[in-house]
Structures are given as structure tokens and as C-alpha cells.
Amino acid sequence: MRKLVTIVGVLYSMLDISAQEIVWQKNIKSSTQDFLNQITPTIDGQYLITGSSIQNYKSQNNGYDFHLLKLDQQGNQIWEKYFSGNNHDFLSAAISTQEGGFLIAGNSYSDKGLDKKSDYLGEADIWLIRLNEFGDELWQKSIGSAYDEEVKAVIQTKDLGFLITGNIQYPIKGYGSKDILIIRLDKNGKELSQLILGGKGLDEVEKIIPTQDGGALLGAYSKSNVSGTKKTENYGEGDYWIIKLNKNGEVEWEKNFGGKADDHLRTLAITPTGFLIGGESRSKKSGNKNVDIEDGTDLWLVSLDKNGNDIWQRSYNFGNRDVLMGMSILNSSDEKSSKGILLGGYTHKEVEPQDYDETFWILYLDHEGNEKWRKYIKGETKKEERLSDVKLNKDGSIILAGTSADETGKENWKIVKLGDKQINQLIEKQDIKIYPNPVSDYTYVEIGFDFKEANISLYDMGGRILKSLRTNNKITKINTQSLIQGAYLITIQTDTNKTANSKLIKIKQN
């Protein structure tokens, strides 16, 4: 097991140094090359950190393995897990499921053996593992053919099943050099359908998000003109290709955005008015791109309505090649308006590296994309600081994760939590929030005011106390499986003498 070390970081600011402060920072040391891929916040405010690592002490396999690390709200390690095949296995996507566990997905070059329970299907296979909240395996599945498949993103659907998206090189059923693959599974991993989308060129999916109507929005990098299933023309070398799927997994509409040069989509988000898409652009104002670039590769955001029509466009620059890795939206409690947009990434200096070469940065915008502030989070190393993901928490804090290295081949995982006073003031707080409510199995109690320790009590309507527990977490999970159907009362009392209560409704288990 790698040693988890708390280190002191320095926060560098380009605008305002007082608004953000480092709450905690963790450096997960390694003597091998480790790739951190994603942060997955859990429903109770904890974090699953996922990527790929070489376990140099594990003699059965000298290749890359799936690597998972769960941290609590204070950044303390809860558990660490590896899932190994007998060859290289690269973890590339993870989600927190509505039931409280996780689905992880990656690209496997391993045959049956060690943790992998299915045979090698050919080239690269997609390897899926369903986990409970403790990281224990519930089921696993491999998907593949004689050709090369790779998974990029997963979401859970309203029926508790999953959509798996990735890319495939399939000369028989495909359309171009690389196409988009969409696989629908039920909640137990049974495959329900497959869909291949693409034109005659290269089309790579980067991201998928669930939409409020039960469908999904896909973001892809496309070098294809109208051909195959693609019905939109490219404007340049590579464009943003946006595809809206309905709840049945069928294409509802598609849009292309780009200039005359190369534009690479990285991420998507839902906004109250529609969607926000973002990536990197080398295009000057041209095609349907109405903003220019400043230096090398700039960040390019496009706000869309619910039908994919352009509302506004913005461009941002950190110097030379800017890489966007994550985006989060701060919505109001009624989700009818947006209070801000958080972007995260790193900047790569292609010529004459400077002090801020490959250093984490974050950029905060208002709901119309106007810049409010930007920050650098500089580490101890000089060689490489590459952000992989950024998330905005419910309390206005920010969690960032990436890799940090003094020399290539010895990358460590770096996770930073920032407190932000400005964003925190925008959060609409409730003294106590309970979800889901009504509940069948588990509910979560979220405390809205500041405290160090609180007591949570559960009463029946006759005033009898049924459960009592102490917590120092803003969000606490409560098991309600033993309760009978009916109404209950949850109360909280903190060490600061603040109290609150709310009614809980227990329904029959599914």
C-alpha cells in the first residue's frame, strides 16, 4: 500500500489571494508511473479517486492495474483497492451509483486470471466492475470483439441501468478510422443494446452526461464530414460534435461547433438553460466560432440551449497550450438558475518552460461566462503538475486531483481541497437536509451550518429515540432498513448549540 502523506502546498493567485485557502492536500507517493484519472464525489460527501498504477511489489503482474482510493470529507484514507489482470489494465471511468456503490470501467489487455473472471476477447476489451460502498465486487463484465474497443465514460440511467460510451475500430460494421460505441446495460450488467456512430474520418467520444428527460448528451472530437451516421459538416480540421440521445438511446439531434483549425472537446455539463461544452481551440474566429484565440491553444466554451443552439461563446488563455480537464456548475437550490462555472486544467509550455509549466489552475466564471477569478495551485515539483479532474462540492469547496512528478516515470497522485469564501456565500444553505426522502434503505442527513461535532437522533412519532450517533461530517449516512413504514423525526444538535429537525418518511423496500 502506498503511503498517504499530508503535505503543505502553496496557493498562487493571479487575482485575489484571500478568497481560496487550502483545507487539506494529500500526496500519494509511488516509485512507479501512476496515472490518476478521475474524482468521483459520493452522495455522503466523500471521494473516490481512481486511476491506473503498477504495483511493483506484486509478483503475479508487472503491468498496470485498476487503482482506487476512497477518502473521507477530511481527506483521510478509508480504503484502497486494486483490481488486477495478468497484463495491462487501464481504469478510465467511474461513477457513484444511486444505490451508494460504484461502477468502474477501463480498458483491459488481460486474459482470465487474478481478479479478471472472463477470457480475453481480442485487442483491447472493456472491463466493468460493480462495487459496493466498501469497494467489494458485486459483479464484473467484459465487453469486446476481435477488434479494438476502449471505454471513455459511463453514466447511470433512470432505470438504474448504465450507458457505457467509448470508441471502436471496427472495419466491418464501422464507418471510419475510429467510431463512437454506445452500450446499454441493465443494473445487473446484462447487455441490452449497442450503437455505433461516426463518419468516414476519426470520431472519438470524450464525455457523456445524463439529461433530465432520461436521455444523454455525448461530446466527441470529430474529423468527419457528412457520412456514415454523421449528418453535420465539419468546419475545420477537428470539431466539437454534440449528440443528444433520447431515453431509448436513439439520436434526437446533433450539432457541430468549430473553426478552420483544430478544436478538441473535453467536457460537458448541464445548465438551467441547456448545456455547456468546453475544450481546447487552435482556431481563430471562423466557421461558427465567434471568438478569437490569444496564444497557442486557448480554452473555448459554448453555452447551448436545450435544443443545441448557441447562446454564447467565450475564450480564455493561460499561456501557450491550455488543456481543460474538468468543469462544474454551481446551480441555485431550485436548479432554475446558475450561480457560477468552475473550470480546471493545466497549461503546457511548448517552448521554453516557465515556472508555471504544467501547474494546476482553476478558473471561476459567472453564469454568462465572464471571468471572476483564476488561481494556480503550485506543488513542490518542477517537472510536471498535470490536473486530471476538478469538482465543486455542495458546500462551495473545491476538490482537485492530478499527477505530480520530479521526473517522468515516477508520477505521484496529488489531491487538493480548497475552501472558497466567495463561492460558499453563494450556496443556499438549509439547516438540515434529508435525501432521499421518502427512503427505503439508506438516507443522508446534511447539516447546513458550521460545527465540529454534532449529535443526530432518530425518533418515532411517539417520541421514542430509535438511533443516536455522533458525527463530525457535514453529510452522514443512516441505515433505515430496520424501520417499518411510517413517519419519523430526525433532529440534530451541534457543539455550537444549534439545533434543527426534519420529518423522514419510510416506505417499503424495493
User: pLDDT tens across 8-61, in order?
Assistant: 333 333 334 345 788 999 988 877 778 899 999 988 789 999 999 988 655 456
How are strands ordered across the β-sheet holding 89-96? 89-96, 102-108, 125-131, 137-143
Would you say 125 and 76 are in contact if contact means Cβ atoms under 8 Å apart? no
| Pairing, β 360-365 against β 371-378 | antiparallel
pLDDT of 54 reads 87
What distance in Å separates the CA atoms of residue 414 and residue 359, rounded to the nearest whole number?
12
Of the pLDDT bands very low, low, confident and very high (cuts 50, 70, 90), residue 202 is very high
pLDDT of 274 reads 95
pLDDT of 509 reads 66
Give tens-digit pLDDT for 69-96.
999 988 999 999 999 999 999 999 999 9
Helix (H) or strand (E) segment spanning residue 444: strand 442-447
C-alpha cell at 150: 476502449
- Percent of the chain surpassing pLDDT 70: 89
What would the mean pLDDT of 100-117 be, rounded to a whole number? 94
Write down the pTM of the prediction: 0.86
pLDDT of 336 reads 65
Would you say 36 and 402 are in contact if contact means Cβ atoms under 8 Å apart? yes
In angstroms, the first-to-last Cα distance of the chain is 38
By residue count, the chain amounts to 510
Q: Please, where are the H alpha helices in 11-99? A: none
Which tops the pLDDT comparison, 169 or 308? Answer: 308
Write the Ramachandran bin of 446: left for phi over 0, alpha for psi from -120 to 50, otherwise beta: beta
pLDDT of 229 > 60? The answer is: yes
DSSP letters spanning 239-257: EEEEEEE-TTS-EEEEEEE
Of the pLDDT bands very low, low, confident and very high (cuts 50, 70, 90), residue 129 is very high
Mean pLDDT for the chain? 87
Would you say 398 and 336 are in contact if contact means Cβ atoms under 8 Å apart? no
Of the pLDDT bands very low, low, confident and very high (cuts 50, 70, 90), residue 449 is confident
C-alpha cell at 434: 434529508
pLDDT of 159 > 60? The answer is: yes
Give tens-digit pLDDT for 450-459.
899 999 999 9
What distance in Å separates the CA atoms of residue 80 and residue 68, rounded to the nearest whole number?
6
Give tens-digit pLDDT for 327-374.
999 876 555 667 889 999 988 765 554 554 567 899 999 999 999 999
Find the range with the poorest average confidence among 97-111, 146-160, 358-372, 417-431: 417-431
What would the mean pLDDT of 369-390 be, rounded to a whole number? 82
Would you say 439 and 504 are in contact if contact means Cβ atoms under 8 Å apart? yes
pLDDT of 425 > 70? The answer is: no
What distance in Å separates the CA atoms of residue 55 and residue 267, rounded to the nearest whole number?
30
Name the residue with cell 447511470.
156
What would the mean pLDDT of 244-262 be, rounded to a whole number? 96
- Percent of the chain surpassing pLDDT 90: 62
Find the range with the poorest average confidence among 119-123, 154-158, 347-351: 347-351
Of the pLDDT bands very low, low, confident and very high (cuts 50, 70, 90), residue 419 is confident
Find the range with the poorest average confidence among 159-173, 257-271, 350-364, 490-504: 350-364
Cα 34 → chain centroid:
18
pLDDT of 2 reads 46
- Give 3-state DSSP helix, strand, coil % of the chain, rounded to 5: 0, 55, 45
Q: Give the start-end residues of each E strand in 112-178.
A: 125-131, 137-143, 148-156, 162-169
